[in-house]
Amino acid sequence: MKQLRSKNTRITFTVMLPLGIAAFLAAFLLGSSGVSIGELIRLIGGTAERSTAIIFFNLRLPRALLAFVSGGALSISGACLQGMFKNPMADSYVVGVSSGAALGATVALAFSAQLAFLGFGAVTILAFMGALFAVFLVYNLAKIQGKVSTFSLLLSGIAISTLCSALVYCIMILYRDKMEHIVMWTMGSFSSPSWDKVVVALPPMLVASVLCLVFAKDLNIMLQGDEAARHLGVDSGKVRRNLIVITTLAAASAVSVSGIIGFVGLIIPHILRLILGPDHRRLLPYSFFGGGIFLLLADTLARIVLDSQEIPVGVITAVVGVPFFLYLLRRGKKVAK
Amino acid sequence: MSDIRICNISYSYTPSEKALRGVSFCIPAGCFCGIIGPNGSGKTTLLKCISGYFTPDEGQVLIDGKDVACFSTREIAKRMALVQQHASLEYDFTVMDIVLTGRNPHIKRMRSETEADYAIAHNALECAGIHELKDRLLTTLSGGEWQMMILARALCQQADIMLLDEPVAGLDIAHQVGIMSTVRRLAAERGISVVCVLHDLNLARAFCQQIVLLKKGMRYAEGTPDSVLTKSNIEHVYGTKVNIIEQDGQKYILPVIAG
């Protein structure tokens, strides 16, 4: 089994590396106002036309970076949360990130809030704050006598999410003219990339992803139960608290610049767990790169699949990702038997 | 070698009812101590107080004179190993993966296991007599093999106190005796103090040097097996009639079954 695992790891690595490069190339080259390979090479040489350079540097590159790092951050966060809750359904969204962000964004869109900070619109800022506030609320509601159990956290996550969704619907009914904007935002998209977004959202996502790796071994040990973990030198409560802060930072940053992109945090870690086994020291880094590649490819598809307009990337991740995931899940079960 | 002093501890889950009421006793270093009593008498609560997982409402637990509440998580892990009742884990780790986690308290953050850690883990597997299982997946282990693995993990920790919470519950008699014998042998060899919650009175009599009998959260009796496991004590605490029979110099406790 051990040999099989390390063989699978080698295969995954040799598949992922060229796939990652291909995903970036596809993101640069494909699309309505195309940049050809020749132009890309000239671009590196600094002799490309100005219009090509503008498309590449102002649109394609920041968009690709945002999609890749958001996918990675959502995926590594999902892997951490599934590990620490010992629950395959967990990701950042179950503790309130998505619904809090949706409520924040909805408020901004409905009231056409005139708020700006570091060149960001009200939607980004309020989405980020909404996500943080929702998780803060969920965490404190779940805290009973200073301890946070998995059960109470997931349940208060569901409760707060439901409440936020209800408020979103309520605002949508009251401000029907803004309904389309709100719906489009909640489906997630990278359609308005900018370097401001890259500069502000990328560092927290990258830092949070690296910090997740610090807790990889603790997560392995926590699977054995809180009390057992304590006797193996791991304070599960403390690790959980730290990881909630870290993963919320990552997911809230991703959501605030791109809207709610579901499934990445669920599917990618699961697929990799089936292939690589449950060791988080291996699972977490591969989840980051796997999630990044997946979302970058999905975003490219979202751009090019229809001539007339873009499809929300959240739709692509679901339509493409879910059948593949279900196939692997069923095949994995058969192998296990 | 560590001695454990339990000083007048009380603990309650709800304000109205106390699970432990003023329990005191001492476990000398290197002693094999059994905690027995009916369901709900506070055995596991007492063990969790000794390990510091629960902080007693009153009283304290001292290990070599130091209050357990003052220990850091890492210190706890270096001093005390825990073997819980069998519970499965549906993740595809290998036996070696789990046994190696016993080294965690000795390894700095972000560092990997060294050759020395692997050597200790191999040794622990051999002491538990399950070296051939090292590459097996958890999902393929029987209950008895699982408990042996947890025992190997505890040995790998090199702690001088071992806490066991019903380690043989639900196992066949061969594994019950096998695990208890292994614990007793290794504890004697390495000078480990053992605190073991048990349901089986005959196992307690056979393996423990000291026995604490609990009733409704209070210490009912404490001392050597022969002094604690008397007919009147058992009938009084458990409320059921028993016979104590002797065969080949060993005493056995048998419940009287009507009809």
As a whole number of angstroms, the distance between CA B146 and CA B136 comes to: 11
| pLDDT of A120 higher than 90 | no
pLDDT reported for residue A332: 61
Using one digit for the tens of pLDDT, what is the confidence trace for A30-50?
876 667 777 777 777 777 777
Lowest-confidence segment of A213-217, A333-337, B141-145, B173-177 by average pLDDT: A333-337
Nearest to A234 among B97, B98, B104 (CB): B104
Cβ separation A227–B48 shorter than 8 A: yes
Summarize the confidence of residues A251-270 as an average pLDDT. Answer: 86
Q: What is the largest CA-CA distance in chain A?
A: 65
Summarize the confidence of residues A15-30 as an average pLDDT. Answer: 87
Chain A contact set for B94 (CB, 8 A): 1-2
- B113 touches B141 (CB < 8 A): no
DSSP assigned state of A96: T
| Chain A residue with minimum CA distance to B91 | A278
Nearest to A232 among B87, B91, B101 (CB): B101
As a whole number of angstroms, the distance between CA A245 and CA A239 comes to: 10
pLDDT reported for residue A118: 54
- Please indicate whether residue B40 or residue B87 has the higher confidence score (pLDDT): B40
Instruction: Please give, rounded to a whole number of angstroms, the shortest distance from the CA of B116 to a CA of chain A.
Output: 18
Residues 6+ apart with CB under 8 A from B117: B100, B103, B106, B107
Optimal mutation site among B63, B79, B80, B98, interface A, most CBs of chain A within 10 A: B98
Summarize the confidence of residues A125-148 as an average pLDDT. Answer: 86
Using one digit for the tens of pLDDT, what is the confidence trace for A78-90?
999 999 888 777 7
**What is the number of alpha carbons within 13 Å of residue B107 lying toward its C-beta?**
22
CA quadruple B127, B133, B138, B142: dihedral sign: negative
Measuring CA to CA, how many Å separate A53 from each of A15, A28, A34, A49, B190?
Answer: 31, 11, 12, 6, 72
| Lookup result for tokens 């009283």 | B59
Q: What share of chain A is helix, strand, coil (3-state, %, to 5)?
A: 80, 0, 20
Cβ separation B82–A227 shorter than 8 A: yes
Residue A9's CB: how many other CB atoms inside 10 A? Answer: 16
Q: How does residue B24 score in pLDDT terms, banded at 50, 70 and 90?
A: very high
Cβ separation B157–A231 shorter than 8 A: yes
Total beta-carbon pairs less than 8 A apart between chain A and chain B: 71
Optimal mutation site among A231, A272, A280, interface B, most CBs of chain B within 10 A: A231
For domain A2-336, give the fold: ABC transporter involved in vitamin B12 uptake, BtuC (1.10.3470)
- B52 touches B76 (CB < 8 A): yes
Cβ separation B102–A232 shorter than 8 A: yes
Instruction: Please give, rounded to a whole number of angstroms, the shortest distance from the CA of A143 to a CA of chain B.
Output: 17
- Residue B249: is it exposed, middle or buried by C-beta count within 10 angstroms (0-12/13-18/19+)? exposed
Residues in chain B: 259
Instruction: Please give, rounded to a whole number of angstroms, the shortest distance from the CA of A87 to a CA of chain B.
Output: 11
DSSP assigned state of A58: I
Q: How does residue A319 score in pLDDT terms, banded at 50, 70 and 90?
A: confident
The full set of domain ranges for chain A reads 2-336
Nearest to B135 among A2, A230, A278 (CB): A2
Strand, helix or coil for residue A117? strand
Q: Going by DSSP bridges, is the β-strand pair B80-83/B161-165 parallel, antiparallel, or unpaired?
A: parallel
| Lookup result for tokens 């001492």 | B26
| pLDDT of B229 higher than 90 | yes
Nearest CA to A278 out of B140, B98, B100, B133 is that of B98
Chain A contact set for B76 (CB, 8 A): 230-231, 233
Cβ separation A232–B105 shorter than 8 A: yes
Chain B contact set for A270 (CB, 8 A): none
Chain A positions touching chain B (beta carbons under 8 Å): 1-2, 214, 217, 220-221, 223-225, 227-228, 230-235, 277-279, 336
| pLDDT of B213 higher than 90 | yes
Chain A contact set for B166 (CB, 8 A): none
Instruction: Please give, rounded to a whole number of angstroms, the shortest distance from the CA of A212 to a CA of chain B.
Output: 12
Buried b (16+ CB within 10 A) or exposed e, B31-62: bbbbbbbbeebbbbbbbbbbbbbbebeebbbe
| pLDDT of A335 higher than 70 | no
Lowest-confidence segment of A112-121, B43-52, B220-229 by average pLDDT: A112-121
Chain A contact set for B74 (CB, 8 A): 233
Summarize the confidence of residues A108-130 as an average pLDDT. Answer: 75
As a whole number of angstroms, the distance between CA B246 and CA B231 comes to: 13
Residue A265's CB: how many other CB atoms inside 10 A? Answer: 33
Nearest to B104 among A214, A221, A235 (CB): A221
| pLDDT of B201 higher than 70 | yes
Which ranges of A259-307 does DSSP label H, i.e. alpha helix? Answer: 264-276, 280-304
Using one digit for the tens of pLDDT, what is the confidence trace for A123-134?
888 888 899 999
Domain B4-255 has CATH 3.40.50.150: no
As a whole number of angstroms, the distance between CA B40 and CA B46 comes to: 11
The full set of domain ranges for chain B reads 4-255
Optimal mutation site among B49, B50, B55, B91, interface A, most CBs of chain A within 10 A: B91
Identify residue A285 by its one-letter amino acid code: P
Chain B positions touching chain A (beta carbons under 8 Å): 48, 51, 53, 73-74, 76-78, 80-82, 84, 87, 89, 91-94, 96-98, 101-102, 104-105, 109-110, 135, 137, 139, 153, 157, 163
Cβ separation B74–A227 shorter than 8 A: no
| Lookup result for tokens 């279900």 | A326
Chain A contact set for B109 (CB, 8 A): 214, 217
ipTM, two decimals, is 0.91
**HEC profile for chain B?**
CCCEEEEEEEEEEECCEEEEEEEEEEECCCCEEEEECCCCCCHHHHHHHHHCCCCCCEEEEEECCEEHHHCCHHHHHHHEEEECCCCCCCCCCEHHHHHHHHHHHHCCCCCCCCHHHHHHHHHHHHHCCCHHHCCCEHHHCCHHHHHHHHHHHHHHCCCCEEEEECCCCCCCHHHHHHHHHHHHHHHHHHCCEEEEECCCHHHHHHHCCEEEEEECCEEEEEECHHHHCCHHHHHHHHCCCEEEEEECCEEEEEECCCC
Cβ separation B97–A217 shorter than 8 A: no
Chain A contact set for B155 (CB, 8 A): none
pLDDT reported for residue A337: 41
Nearest to A230 among B53, B93, B139 (CB): B53
Strand, helix or coil for residue A147? strand
pLDDT reported for residue A336: 47
- A103 touches A168 (CB < 8 A): yes
Residues 6+ apart with CB under 8 A from A117: A125
Chain B contact set for A230 (CB, 8 A): 51, 53, 73, 76-77, 82
Instruction: Please give, rounded to a whole number of angstroms, the shortest distance from the CA of B207 to a CA of chain A.
Output: 24
Chain A contact set for B101 (CB, 8 A): 220-221, 224, 232
